[in-house]
Amino acid sequence: MKRQLPFLLVFIFGAFMTIQYYIPHESSEFVYTFLLDWTMIIGIFALALGIWSLYQVSVEKIKHKKENWVYSYVTLFGLFIMVVLGFTFKVGDSWGLYSVFVIALMAFLYCLINASIAKSKGLWFGLSGVALVVLLGIAYFDDSWGVAFMTSEGLRNTMFTNFADFVMTPILATMFALLAFFIASAAYRAFRARNVLASLLLVSAIIVMLRFNPYMPFGLPELIAELSNWLMNVPNLAAQRAIVIGIGLGIVATSLKVILGIERGYMGKG
Amino acid sequence: MTEHKNIFDKMMTLDRRWVFLFLIIVCVATYVVDFEIPINTEPEVESIFNFLDSLPENDIVLIAIDYDPNNLAELHPMTYAVVEHLWRKKVKIIFTSLSQLGPAMADQAIRDISDSLKVDKTYNYNGVEHNFKGREIVNGVDYTFLGFKPYYALIILGMGQDFRLNFPSDYYGTPLDDLPMMQGVINYDQVACVVDLSGGNITDAWISYGQGRFNFPLMLGLTGVMVSQYYPFLGSGQVSGIMGGLLGAAQYEELADNPGRAKDGMRVQLYAHYVIILFIILGNIGYFMTRRNRLKGGN
Amino acid sequence: MEFSDFLWMTCGIFLTLATFSFLYKDNPFYKFAEHLVVGVSAGFTIIVLWHGTLVPNLFQKLEDGNWFMLWLNSSEWWYVVPAVLGLLMWTRFSKKYSWVSRWPMGLYIGISTGIAIPLEMSNRVNKQLYAMMVEIDWANFFGGNILSTTSGFAQLLIFLGTIAGLVYFFFSKEHKGVFGGVATFGIWILMIGFGASFGYTVMARVSLFINRMQDTKAWGVEAFNASDVANPHYSSMYPIVFYLLVAFVVGYIIKEIMDHLKRKNA
């Protein structure tokens, strides 16, 4: 039951989905459609696992005062603030006491996290109680904003979109922009014409890099543009096609091994 | 000889932060000086532009915003150019976004482009002047944003059955049947083509599970890192066109006569490429000289 | 642009600069930005999953049921099944019951591998093989231009290049003799392909930096536009915020230089 049933499930559903493609039938189509929807719902719960473990890791770090533990509060702040903003929305023209509410809620969560790990629990619980009273009071008396769980006004909350546009986007974009500098340093340090193969790679890279360069003498820009077009569409196409076919065969072979239960490592031990 | 050895050895052990600083200075300097470099269009991008340009009013195009903020630098300009071109022509758009942080990207793009559609504008492409009156873009009439669902392969297959299967309502919570433009739109059969703007594996799924199974025209906008991997699909006709990186976006902007961030960035690209080529050459000179010196020293 | 929007924009630029400071060395500003983005993107995902998936695809389907009946009396009661399977995933947190999470895993893996086999075979392998085996246009072998991408020569090169590339990846036979020769041709073709890839990668990476410069410039432009009296949102606060951030960055750079000199002298 513990070991065999999962593999039986893999076989049954894998074989069904494969056969369904080749022999479509009204009834199998019906099941197929349902499975597409169901699997996605199961998937959401799986994604929640990842977020829960992010929370746990951060709290553990604070608890054991591991390296850079202070920054874990920043992570938790980011996590909670987005959740709070995503479930609230503006009703009237102004936000009223919304910002006080958000601060009180953050303070409440801060105290609660500390209460769960600190030794002097009473103090933190007391403080969190105060914060709770404040935030519930505001939530009850302030009508300029509302809370929505089952409707998605929160997604249009400007505070929520601002956090996405001006906090999440710039940092992620910049983190990847650092790669521009690392590739420059790699070009300087590692890109050597050590042998014929490396030289071939170097020459084709330089041709592709120069193809939109208009400032070259003797009609070179046209020649380079044509040459790089040829490189992309002939040798590159051939090389990538070999890789695509190789990967395709790899996926099919691995999938078959998984369905037939030959490959079992993905389930882990135990 | 010892003098030489010093220079090249120094070159080889240079702190990489000098390399960074040099690149920053060149990029910032070329960006501050305002000039334009000519953009030559390539057939891969022209085929996308011509197909989208030939669509009549009220046709529907599915645009898949499958990138996270990490890749927005290259793919946002494509989104802006393509969507503005289509909306000006009154083509309707279904947006999906099967990448986890993609909804933020799509949401931002829709808000921005709706704003720029409010003003009148004239474009001059294919040798003809096109005048467009500014207009209000309305959710449910001009576009539908379906939003994010996990497990893209299943969702792409599911949309082939019925959009309503996985997306009973749009991103903002309105049931699909309540949106005027979705009346009678069941699955890919009612969509003229799919434009996938992607920074990851989702493109593979669009090719294998989408185009492969449902046979719609598929066009790709890809990050520079991925673009060479998808040429085989262009050669086999599974994909009808590819826009690669910022250059691809700049070409689309050039074709649609709508210069934006991509064309603006190409002059920096040019000089940054000079710098990188210079680094490659310097690195190689240093490498060969130190190797020669080492060999001589050994003798 | 409203002043509050401008402040948000300034926040974005500050975080951009904080992240870029990593190029010099790891520092508290970078760590702050790094940790913040992990939390914010996780929070964003929670909200998108909740509003975009859980509510419409699960909760609303079971809306007309009652909790004390475990929603089994709702009109689409079968949606309880994936919810239960999904909840079983959470047994992963328990050492004792984590084996239960393998059932939904098995279902998911079965379905995703099952759909992959026919479609990957036909779209990655078969269609590519068809495209490779076109009849070579001998009459138009060079097509008047050796760099033509549609001439017979190009077709032949693609055919031979693909075969050779596949041969190179075939490790069950030693690369010797004719087979080795073909494999060598294969690796040549692959290297040209990787070179082209690298050329494009450089462009991709530089684009990312250009985007950050464009955002920074847009912020500066916004700051100075609003200090123009003709602007509807005229306020001198805009350039003040701008200069505050600039002063902060310059101050930080000077501090770092001083520290560096001190260390050097010590």
d(C-alpha C170, C-alpha A90), whole Å: 62
Residue stretches of chain B with pLDDT short of 50 = 1-4, 299
Q: Which residue has the higher pLDDT, C238 or C11?
A: C11
Torsion of CA B179, B181, B187, B188, to 10 degrees: -150
Span C11-36, mean pLDDT? 93
The amino acid at residue B211 is Q
Residue with tokens 């996985």: B166
Q: What is the pLDDT of residue B6?
A: 65
**Backbone phi and psi for residue B61, each to the nearest 5 degrees, phi listed first:** -120, 140
Return the number of other C-beta atoms located less than 10 Å from residue A162's C-beta.
18
**Best residue of C31, C37, C185, C211 to probe chain A, by most A CBs closer than 10 Å:** C37
| Chain B contact set for A213 (CB, 8 A) | 270, 273
Q: What is the DSSP letter of B216?
A: -
> Are A101 and A38 in a shared domain?
no
Structure token pair of residue C77: 């009661």
Instruction: Note the pLDDT of residue C229.
Output: 79
Chains with 3+ CB–CB pairs under 8 A to C are A, B
A38 lies in the same domain as A77: no
CA dihedral of B60, C120, C85, C98, whole degrees rounded to 10: -140
List, as own/partner pairs, every contact residues B17-23 make where C-beta atoms lie below 8 angstroms and the sequence separation is at least 24, other chains included: B17/C23, B17/C24, B19/A181, B19/A184, B19/A185, B19/A188, B19/B279, B20/A181, B20/A184, B20/A185, B20/C23, B22/B275, B23/A180, B23/A181, B23/A184, B23/B272, B23/B275
The pLDDT assigned to B290 comes to 81
* Same domain? A140 vs A75: yes
Strand order from edge to edge, sheet including B218-222: B143-145, B92-96, B60-66, B193-198, B218-222, B241-244
Do A41 and A55 sit in the same domain of this protein? yes
Task: Give the predicted TM-score (pTM) of the model.
Answer: 0.92
Tokens 């070579």 locate to C136
Residue A198 lies in a domain: no
Same domain? A18 vs A5? yes
Given A124, A159, A194, which residue is the final one in a domain?
Answer: A159
Residue from A188, A228, A234, A237 to probe the interface with B (highest B Cβ count within 10 Å): A188
Within-domain flag for A224? no
Which one-letter DSSP state was computed for residue B228?
A: G
Give the pLDDT confidence score for residue C190 in this predicted structure: 93
Query: Which of C5, C63, C107, C207 to probe by mutation at the B interface, max B CB count within 10 Å?
Result: C207
Q: Is the dihedral of CA C182, C188, C194, C197 positive or negative?
A: negative
Residue C14, pLDDT > 60, answer yes
Digit-coded pLDDT (tens) for C176-206: 888 999 999 999 999 999 999 999 999 999 9
Using the predicted structure, report yes or no on whether residue C11 has a pLDDT greater than 60. Answer: yes
List, for residues C224-261, the tens digit of each pLDDT value: 888 777 878 788 888 889 999 999 999 999 998 999 89
Residues A150, A105 share a domain? yes
> What residues does B96 pair with on adjacent strands?
B64
Closest residue on chain B to A36 (Cα): B154
Mean pLDDT of C148-153: 84
User: Residue A153 falls within a domain, yes or no?
Assistant: yes
Which among C12, C128, C203 has the least Cβ separation from residue A241?
C128
- Which two three-digit tokens encode residue C264? 């050097």
| pLDDT for B5 | 54
Domain assignment present for residue A235? The answer is no
A61 and A74 belong to one structural domain? no
Query: What is the model's pLDDT at position A268?
Result: 67
Q: Which domain holds residue A76?
A: 69-159
Mark which of A115, A144, A159 sits at the end of a domain: A159
Residues of B with CB below 8 A from A240's CB? 228-232
Answer whether residue A230 is part of any domain: no
Residue of B nearest to C211 (CA): B73
Q: What is the pLDDT of residue B298?
A: 55
The most distant pair of C-alpha atoms in chain A lies apart, rounded to whole Å, by: 82
CB B105 within 8 A of CB C49: no
| A149 shares a domain with A75 | yes
- What span, in angstroms and rounded, lies between the C-alpha atoms of B270 and B276? 10
Q: Of chain C residues 63-122, which have a CB less than 8 A from chain B? A: 111-112, 115-116, 119-120, 122
pLDDT tens track for C44-81: 999 999 998 889 888 888 888 888 877 888 888 888 99
Residue A94 and residue A84 in one domain:
yes
One domain for residues A57 and A78? no
- Say yes or no for a CB contact (<8 Å) between A210 and B277: yes
Contacts of residue A108, defined as CB under 8 A and 6 or more positions apart, other chains included, come to A128, A131, A132, A135
What's residue C237's pLDDT?
A: 85
Structure-block tokens of residue B159: 């949309």
Contacts of B150 in chain A (CB under 8 A): 40, 43-44, 47
| Residue A111 forms part of a structural domain | yes
Q: Nearest CA to CA, how far is B88 from chain A (Å)?
A: 25
* A34 found inside a domain: yes
Task: Work out the angle between the directed axes of helices B245-255 and C177-225 (0-180°, nearest 10).
Answer: 60
Instruction: Please identify, among A135, A159, A183, the residue that sits at the C-terminal boundary of a domain.
Output: A159
d(CA B111, nearest CA chain C) in Å? 14
Pairing of strands B60-66, B193-198: parallel
Q: Distance between CA C185 and CA C164 in Å, rounded?
A: 6
The predicted pLDDT at position C150 comes to 82
d(C-alpha C51, C-alpha C135), whole Å: 53
Walk along chain A (270 residues) in steps of 10 and give the mean pLDDT of each run: 84 92 84 86 86 91 89 94 92 85 92 85 89 89 86 87 93 92 87 88 92 84 89 93 94 93 74
* pLDDT > 70: percent of chain C: 100
> Are A47 and A82 members of one domain?
no
Distance from CA of C237 to the nearest CA of B (A): 25
Residue A214 forms part of a structural domain: no
Whose tokens are 């310059």? That residue is C250
What was the ipTM of the complex prediction? 0.90
CB pairs under 8 A between A and B: 148
**List of chain A residues whose C-beta atoms are within 8 Å of the C-beta of residue C48:** 155
- Count of domains in chain A? 2
Picking from B68, B101, B277, the nearest residue to A206 by CB comes out as B277
pLDDT of residue C75: 83
A76 and A155 both lie in a single domain: yes
Please list, in sequence order, all residues whose beta carbon lies within 8 angstroms of the beta carbon of residue B278, skipping any fewer than 6 positions away: none
